[in-house]
Amino acid sequence: MNYPDSVQFLYALGNEIKTAKLGLDRIRTLLAALGNPQDQLRFVHVAGTNGKGSTCAMIEAGLRADGRRTGLFTSPHLAEPTERIRIDGESVSAGQFAEAFQRVHGCAEKLLAEGGIDWHTTYFETVTAMAFLIFLNERVDMVVLEVGLGGRLDATNVVKPDLCVITQIDYDHEAFLGKSLESIAGEKAGILKTGAPAVFSRQRPEAARVLDLRAAELCVPVVRTDAWSVGDLELDRRGSRFLLSGERELRIRCPLAGEHQVENAATAAIALTRLGVADRAIESGIARAMWPGRLERVSERPEIVLDGAHNPAGARALAAYIRRFYSRRRVRLIYGAMRDKAIEEIGGILFPCAQQVIVTAPKQARAMDPAALRDIAEHPDLRAAPVLEDALALVADATDEDAIFITGSLFLVAEARAMIGAKR
């Protein structure tokens, strides 16, 4: 089976959130049949609501700067599924992806025929197993592994990590994880393991209590970012610089924009100290980290910024960024979202930051219709465009004083990256 065929089959398994079947029995059975490749690898396991992807990217960059061969597993992807599995910072090839898929898919089909599993592994379970096979074949020194959904019953939670990291916890995927911060935190805390130390980002009190209780039950030694101090903080539109002080002092330059990335960079830096990474490698690695689609500037004239603010916490971070750096600019916001998102809450946070709002839809079956979006949104200059191309046409008159933000669904961000990159 070639790469296009493997991708088509994965998509045919259904949307990875909507078809998620939380539980570890199926993935464990599959991995056992594949020889348990995960047991021969070392992991940093990262859970959280917002910030876990960028934190993973910075941890991986620091490990690589320290001379280690790295694997990085993240989700979702923006353009191609190969982005989810990276070796030394580079996406795996289409050939590697297809070969791993063929092996995992063949094993799943055999188990199905024998009654070993009740249904084919899901999209996410399949790609997780593929990643383990590729990382083992590539002989990586350390894998930075991002949780897909929750933690306790996520397919990644079959590993025995060297270190667990939990970034800030907020509301998202309540249908799967529960409607309270306590229940969501309980799912995230499920990645903690006896014998594996942990790093916790700053948390709301309700989430912190749950994490601390679970860590105490498992006798997990924890380092909290609030035990370290951030000084000499300088923020600009393109990132931050600060002095991180605790057991040692680190001069951090974070190239990921937004004040919220200061906490993520601190979390990554502290995690790297726990992994024995040299100070110079921590500093130089984080300074070179990349995480596309999150406050990513894709055009200067006019200024166009992409950000996948798909939940209330992400919207608050984006709103804070706009208020801090664009209060004297004309902000034009292009927004599209999936139907299952907290659209009214997100709109209430983001739309007041813009002088003009254009609601549109990514080319996805689950996308919220722009006409319906317009009916529930409130803004004095609100327009609707069926698709992104039409939305961009409405801002074609942008001047150098305008700032255009394209946000909401990561599907919309991916379309914008491809469209604007092609034009440039």
Domain-wise residue ranges, the chain: 3-287, 296-423
DSSP-based helix, strand, coil % in the chain, nearest 5: 45, 20, 35
Q: How confident is the model at residue 378 (pLDDT cuts 50, 70, 90)?
A: confident
Range name among 4-18, 52-66, 280-294 with the lowest pLDDT average = 4-18
Pairing of strands 229-236, 239-245: antiparallel
Same fold for the pair 3-287 and 296-423: no
* DSSP 8-class letter at 369: P
Sign for the pseudo-dihedral over CA of 120, 124, 128, 133: positive
The kind and range of the H/E element at 156 are none
Closest residue by Cα to residue 241 from 266, 272, 275: 266
Identify the pLDDT of residue 350: 96
Neighbours of 7 (CB within 10 A): 18
Identify the pLDDT of residue 339: 85
Pairing of strands 85-87, 70-73: antiparallel
Identify the pLDDT of residue 153: 94
- The string of pLDDT tens digits covering residues 304-362 is 999 999 889 899 999 999 999 999 999 999 999 988 778 899 999 999 999 999 999 99
Average pLDDT of the chain?
94
Class of domain 296-423: alpha beta
CATH homologous superfamily of 3-287: Mur-like, catalytic domain (3.40.1190.10)
What percent of the chain has a predicted confidence (pLDDT) above 90?
Answer: 86
- The string of pLDDT tens digits covering residues 170-228 is 887 666 787 799 999 999 999 999 999 999 999 999 999 999 999 999 999 999 999 99
Residue 238: HSE in the Cβ half-sphere, 13 Å Cα cutoff: 9
| Distance between CA atoms of residues 157 and 151, nearest Å | 7
Identify the pLDDT of residue 21: 65
Identify the pLDDT of residue 174: 65
Identify the pLDDT of residue 17: 57
Identify the pLDDT of residue 342: 82
| Distance between CA atoms of residues 410 and 317, nearest Å | 16
Identify the pLDDT of residue 98: 98
What percent of the chain has a predicted confidence (pLDDT) above 70?
Answer: 97
Identify the pLDDT of residue 424: 46
| Distance between CA atoms of residues 159 and 49, nearest Å | 20
Distance (Å) of CA 198 to CA 142, 146, 169, 269 = 16, 14, 15, 13
Q: Are 59 and 40 in contact (CB under 8 A)?
A: no
Amino acid at 339: R
| Distance between CA atoms of residues 16 and 11, nearest Å | 9
Sign for the pseudo-dihedral over CA of 198, 16, 136, 108: positive
Amino acid at 281: A
Identify the pLDDT of residue 16: 59
| Distance between CA atoms of residues 227 and 84, nearest Å | 32
Range name among 21-30, 128-137, 224-233, 252-261 with the lowest pLDDT average = 21-30
